[in-house]
Amino acid sequence: MCFAIPGKVVEIDNDKQEAIVDYDIEKRAVGIPLLPELKVGDFVLVQAKIAVQIVPEDQVKQFMDSLDALEEEK
């Protein structure tokens, strides 16, 4: 099973078809050939170092709230 955490796009280099995605604890470079409409500030899911889906901000908040609740149960 694979677990993808949404990250926020903080930088885009269209020439390299690459974006920098911020996961709060680290930033990673990812490929963006599948998402030509991507813009800085979008949240994305990444698989195998490729951004595969843009995630609406309200869904990201709901997901992160759920993770926080799980962490509190420990």
Q: Tokens 């020439």: give the residue.
A: 15
Q: Residue 4: which pLDDT band, with cuts at 50, 70 and 90?
A: confident
Mean pLDDT across the chain, nearest whole number?
93
How much of the chain is in helix, strand and coil states, percent to nearest 5? 25, 40, 40
Please give the pLDDT value at position 1: 62
Radius of gyration of the chain from its Cα atoms, rounded to whole angstroms: 13
Asked if the model's pLDDT at residue 9 lies above 90, the reply is: yes
Mean pLDDT of 6-12: 97
Domains and CATH numbers, the chain: 7-73 (2.30.30.140)
Each residue's pLDDT tens digit, 26-40: 999 999 999 999 999
